[in-house]
Structure 1
Amino acid sequence: MMSKVPATVITGFLGAGKTTLVRHLMENNQGKRIALIVNEFGDKGVDGELLASCGITGCAEDAIIELANGCLCCTVADEFLPTIQSLLERANPPDHILIETSGLALPKPLVKAFHWPEIRSKVTVDGVIAVVDAAAVADGRFADSPEAMAQPDHDNPLEEVFEDQLACADLVLLNKTDLLHPDTVAQVHQQVAQDLRAGIKVVRTSKSAIDPRVVLGLSAAAEDDLAARPSHHDAEDGHDHDDFTSFAIALASIADIEALEERILDAIATHDILRLKGFLAVEGKPARAVIQAVGTRLERWFDRPWKSDEVRTGHLVVIGRTGLDRAAIERAIGG
């Protein structure tokens, strides 16, 4: 009997460092054929394009499948299962499958999908890796004030998604520890660890850098251990994405990128944007700029030269709680 193909589910809230971890694993693939499924919330993908253009050996475009416009936890039958089947039917099927979920996805329904007869005998969930933004936890993003918790209709969808991701994990990467004082890292580590199942390890990382042997090869068979992975949404089919919204802003070529960054930070602070990411065309620059923001932490770099057949325009994907004033955000960022 042929052994099952291992699949690793990489979960974690918006901006935790999942794509960075995936790129690190692809760069250090140790000669394995790795297939990658990337899922994003919203209909405009960024992470899959970043990985497809990274130039890493073994990270060719045909090894990356991007599923946008929703979370895999809600579209397993329509998109995920056919995708897994198509990978397994290739002439040279992958040695390992990486699945990067949306930052708003629940991992448990996705793991449950591996019980489907079409794939159960062929694939196993080697492990669920939860990537945690240590700085976001330290800032209290996933914890409400006592006053909010005292409200009769208290409901924090950010906290629920975060806790569900931790509850399903076989390994937790406490990432971005370089942004914090060591004492704060220790406090966050303790806070995260108390919400985990017995025996689940927390590994501290910076920029998601970790030996792939620590992440891959856990042999957890997570699909056979669902009862031990509690969820706020066990009685539901997926979860309610009406709590969150996403939209893309088209941008022409930018003359003053520093001024744009100031407008972005002002918009994030004013409108409580959870996540912002995308690409920019900067006048006089032959390379495409990448911009990423988590809360008010913003990063920018040039990832690759523009292709000769590309239109040099940019776009930004904005993600936040439902109720974001799209028109106001577009005006604020567009200048």
Structure 2
Amino acid sequence: MRLGSEQLSKIPATVVTGFLGSGKTTLLAGILRQMTGKRVAVIVNELGEQDIDASLLRSCALENAPNGETSGGHDMFEFANGCICCTVEERFLPVIQKLIARGERIDHILIETSALALPKPLVQAFKGPEVSQHCTVDAIITVIDGPAVAAQCLLKASADHDPTLQALMDDQLSAADLVLVSKTDLLDEEERRRVEAFVAAKAPAWGKTLFVDASLAADVARLEALLGIGAASEEWIDAMANPQHHAQHHIDACVMTLGEVDLKAFERALQGILSTHDIYRAKGFAAVPGKPLRRVVQAVGERLEGYFDRLWVSGEPRQTQLVIIGRHLDRDALHAALACAEVPQA
């Protein structure tokens, strides 16, 4: 869809949705690293009490910040411990209205929803008269984990299949102007065909599907193209079927806070709880003795990965913090399992 002259004068907003670990934050981090010379407002919504994704995105924005700039030229708004699609009037609209009030300073709005967000209520907020005059939804981008979806297609008839989460993913796909299938370098040909068929059955007929891997984060041309789709999604969103019942009550989120940890012992302990508990996602930062950089730790299912991302800031507590999201979580048992990796302070 092409933008009309009316939409061209509006602030474009991109809504990025997708389930836990699909790659939403990685996508936004790549965009922010490349968006030099433009002011982007970023709205991040997380399930847990700690804004892990917001912290990661803030670090990416600062990488290209001019001297003396403390925000990377971007505005960051964080909504933790809940889903903004359920509190559009109370939490989301006031932020959009604040951005409209200084519209001449905003080039684009990026919205990363929580994993449980239903896109329709959020996009409908852009139809109100106070917002529709000034903003348009450039696109709804739904990110899905290619290997996870390929495996889920095989599990669909098994006892491990969760129909509530399947309904949630169906809702996210049915609202997508663009579906990004991530981690496709891990798919073989048969798995790719399985994912293609799954997306084709769920996504709108007019939508596009793009298979991507980690190289997208450095592909400036493709990242810029994602911010100029011009779908004006708010104009068709009412035609989308009403979303299924919200899955929030099926999900637990808890925060683990430790001191410095022995990295190998911590990763072994984390791998252990991933294999013995019903955990969808674990994400956070580890403080490692003798290391000036903080360690990003993230896991989807039983896949665990990590990297050092930035220096610890002066005065910042050298703590290990991990947000764990899953079902029927025993916080005390999880904390005890991880605490064995904690390094006693001298």
TM-score normalized by the length of structure 2: 0.88
Distance 1:27 1:106, change over 3 A: same
1:82 corresponds to which residue?
94
Aligned-partner SS, 1:53: helix
Q: What are the equivalent positions in structure 2 for 1:1-335 lying under 5 Å apart?
A: 3-29=9-35, 31-54=37-60, 55-57=62-64, 60=72, 63-90=75-102, 92-140=104-152, 144-145=156-157, 156-207=163-214, 208-209=216-217, 211-233=222-244, 239-254=246-261, 256-321=262-327, 323-335=328-340
Distance 1:231 1:177, change over 3 A: farther
Q: 1:96 deviation in Å?
A: 0.9
CA distance in 2, matches of 1:193, 1:326: 39
Q: 1:147 deviation in Å?
A: 5.8
Deviates more, 1:7-16 or 1:190-199: 190-199
2:68 corresponds to which residue?
none
Deviates more, 1:272-281 or 1:2-11: 2-11
Distance 1:303 1:61, change over 3 A: farther
Query: Aligned letter for 1:104?
Result: L
Per-residue CA deviations over 1:160-219 (Å, capped at 9, x if unaligned) read 111111000000011111122233223212222221111211110002545124311111
Identify unmatched segments of 5+ residues in structure 1.
Answer: 150-154
Deviates more, 1:51-60 or 1:172-181: 51-60
CA distance in 2, matches of 1:227, 1:82: 22
CA distance in 2, matches of 1:82, 1:313: 33
CA contact (8 A) 2:153 2:194 kept: no
Deviates more, 1:269-278 or 1:220-229: 220-229
Percent identity reads 45
CA contact (8 A) 1:44 1:248 kept: yes
Query: Aligned letter for 2:24?
Result: K
TM-score normalized by the length of structure 1: 0.90
Count of residue pairs the alignment pairs up: 324
CA contact (8 A) 1:131 1:173 kept: yes
CA contact (8 A) 2:266 2:338 kept: yes
Distance 1:264 1:129, change over 3 A: same
Identify unmatched segments of 5+ residues in structure 2.
Answer: 1-5, 66-70, 341-346
Per-residue CA deviations over 1:114-150 (Å, capped at 9, x if unaligned) read 122321211111110001100111221795325678x
CA contact (8 A) 2:22 2:145 kept: yes
CA contact (8 A) 1:174 1:189 kept: no
Root-mean-square deviation over aligned CA pairs: 2.1
Q: 1:90 deviation in Å?
A: 2.6
Distance 1:80 1:232, change over 3 A: closer
Query: Aligned letter for 1:70?
Result: G
Aligned-partner SS, 1:16: coil
CA contact (8 A) 2:124 2:238 kept: no
